[in-house]
Structure 1
Amino acid sequence: MASSVSSSTGSDSPGSMTTTTMTTTTAAGTKPQGVTVVATLTKRSLIPARWKEGSVRVVGMAECTEAALTLAHAFATDDYARYLVDDDGGGGGGDAATASPSSPSPSSSSSSSFTASSSEKSGWRRSGGGGGSDLTAEESKWRLHVDFLVYTVAAHCISGLVTAVGPECDSVALWVPPGKHLDGWWTQLRSGMWRLYFQFSHEARKRYFDEILPLLHDTKAQVLGDRNGEEWYLSYLGTKPSSQGRGYAAKLLKDVMARADAENRPIYLESSSLANNAYYEKFDFEVKRDIFLERGPVPVRLSIMVREPRVPGCKVAYASPNPSARKRFPGAVKKPM
């Protein structure tokens, strides 16, 4: 007796389920005496279930570059990010465009905090031992932008807290917990933050080390007063463009907001746009003052925002710094004339 065997394989979701159908028939001209076997196999995904469910998790050094790339794409068009690397009109040497970033080795000083929105989907690669001479000025700036964030994420992994949502670090938050700081020599060394002095152009060094860091440090001390150092400091909060609109950033915020409320501590941040101000106000942050970075051709405004802890049974009254602007656009801060 002759026989023929045919089989087919299908899958509803690649890599997750395989269905096999096997039919056995007898030789031609005889009545089929077939047996159909249907086997369904479910393959277990290596992605942890809670990552896919959108749970908040702590990111370690193993995911440092992945988290940094999420922030790099999220802040690709941010005014503050461009202020650091796009210094062609700032009167500096402009050598950032020809600098060759070194590969990061797991260091930092206080960074600034912002929420990111959309960005361009640029690629990034790191050449081993790299000359970087084949890169255009735009490509070199992008690499420097990524390097800066790799070092910053690493510093927070070492001495702060990095949280993420999503299987590919779709949304990332960098926090400095109460009593912590990022300017220790060991953190600077391990994270690679020390490399920035050599990778930045002459003008970028002046902007970052002589203008930005002292201004952010002094402003936080002035705004928080006796509570300086006791707050939760949000350094960065960003979501990659392809993952926006899913509530990931809100999850990261609420996670630490709950901790801050339980500890009766404020949360402090610097926001780099009016749209971000409006977003943060949904979570009870209030604009305390505006500061300006003025070494570039156009001043870059940063809004200092603070969220006071929510103690059960206690109401916190806020006085708007600019009621007329609030009526016109919630969360907006009127530009100085």
Structure 2
Amino acid sequence: MLGGRWDLHKELVRAMTRGVLLGGNVYVVRDRGSRRIVSVGFWLEPGQSIFGSEEQRALGFNTFFRKLSPDAQYWWNNTYPDTMRELRETVWTGDEMKRRWWCSHLATHPEQQGRGFATAIVDYAYDDSVAMGQFLGLATQQELNVRKYEAMGFRERGRTLMPAPTGDFPVIVLSKT
């Protein structure tokens, strides 16, 4: 996603945060003592996407995108959406797409991992989705995360290999119904 430019990581996360705040839900866990955010989850209700509107892209994504190499820009505009669309068509039915909340980002500070914070965020989002007759979906690149998500009640729905200029990587899709 960064095209090998780790110096752009914070910029992309800021753009993601702003995009979700405009078109989705942000759940956070704060440390009781310091009040610092230690875990965060970005959730998009059915039909929403993190950079789905020009208004969302203008909140930082466009600036981030212009800093990427032509290869990385091509990946964002072509390879990534095409590969994800093909995977989505094999993993979700049309009805499921209308009822699926999508987690675009779930992270816990490394020093705070293993304390149940991400699980609390998932449980909260799940309760919100179930109240509306919907369910949760997410994707990961890491087998370790698959095991963590399965422990939270997710089940694997499908996987593919994402071609990328910096090296291909797996995309594993899971759901919690």
Residue 264 of structure 1, CA deviation? 2.4
User: Residue type matched to 1:154 in 2?
Assistant: R
Residue 294 of structure 1, CA deviation? 2.0
Residue 202 of structure 1, CA deviation? 1.3
Change (3 A) 1:298 1:180: closer
Which residue does the alignment assign to 1:254? 123
What CA distance in whole angstroms lies between the structure 2 residues aligned with 1:302 and 1:207?
A: 15
Which residue does the alignment assign to 1:145? 9
Does structure 1 residue 292 correspond to structure 2 residue 161? yes
- For the pair shown, the structure with the greater C-alpha radius of gyration is 1
Residue 297 of structure 1, CA deviation? 6.1
Change (3 A) 1:229 1:181: farther
RCO comparison, higher one (Cα < 8 Å, 6+): 2
Which residue does the alignment assign to 2:91? 223
The answer on whether the counterparts of 2:141 and 2:171 sit within 8 Å (CA) in structure 1 is yes
SS of the counterpart of 1:277? helix
Does structure 1 residue 210 correspond to structure 2 residue 82? no
Instruction: Give the TM-score of the pair, scaled to structure 2.
Output: 0.87
What CA distance in whole angstroms lies between the structure 2 residues aligned with 1:266 and 1:150?
A: 26
Residue 257 of structure 1, CA deviation? 1.2
Runs of at least 5 residues in structure 2 that lack an aligned partner in the other structure:
none
The answer on whether the counterparts of 2:47 and 2:97 sit within 8 Å (CA) in structure 1 is no
SS of the counterpart of 1:210? helix
Runs of at least 5 residues in structure 1 that lack an aligned partner in the other structure:
1-80, 87-140, 309-337
Which residue does the alignment assign to 2:107? 238
Alignment of 1:115-130 (within 5 A): none
The answer on whether the counterparts of 1:180 and 1:229 sit within 8 Å (CA) in structure 2 is no
What CA distance in whole angstroms lies between the structure 2 residues aligned with 1:211 and 1:262?
A: 35
What CA distance in whole angstroms lies between the structure 2 residues aligned with 1:197 and 1:231?
A: 27
SS of the counterpart of 2:99? coil
The answer on whether the counterparts of 1:162 and 1:175 sit within 8 Å (CA) in structure 2 is yes
Does structure 1 residue 198 correspond to structure 2 residue 74? no
SS of the counterpart of 1:200? coil
Which residue does the alignment assign to 1:85? 3
Residue 236 of structure 1, CA deviation? 0.7
- The two structures, once aligned, show a CA RMSD in angstroms of 1.8
Which residue does the alignment assign to 1:178? 46
Residue 148 of structure 1, CA deviation? 0.9
The answer on whether the counterparts of 2:41 and 2:121 sit within 8 Å (CA) in structure 1 is yes
Residue 298 of structure 1, CA deviation? 4.0
What CA distance in whole angstroms lies between the structure 2 residues aligned with 1:248 and 1:196?
A: 29
What CA distance in whole angstroms lies between the structure 2 residues aligned with 1:258 and 1:203?
A: 40
SS of the counterpart of 1:217? helix
The answer on whether the counterparts of 1:266 and 1:307 sit within 8 Å (CA) in structure 2 is yes
SS of the counterpart of 2:92? helix
Does structure 1 residue 274 correspond to structure 2 residue 143? yes
User: Residue type matched to 2:156 in 1?
Assistant: V
Alignment of 1:9-48 (within 5 A): none
Change (3 A) 1:217 1:160: farther
What CA distance in whole angstroms lies between the structure 1 residues aligned with 2:119 and 2:143?
A: 18
What CA distance in whole angstroms lies between the structure 2 residues aligned with 1:153 and 1:297?
A: 24
Which residue does the alignment assign to 1:157? 21
What CA distance in whole angstroms lies between the structure 2 residues aligned with 1:154 and 1:218?
A: 27
**If each structure's strand is expressed as a fraction of its own residues, which one has the higher value?**
2
Alignment of 1:62-101 (within 5 A): 84-86=2-4
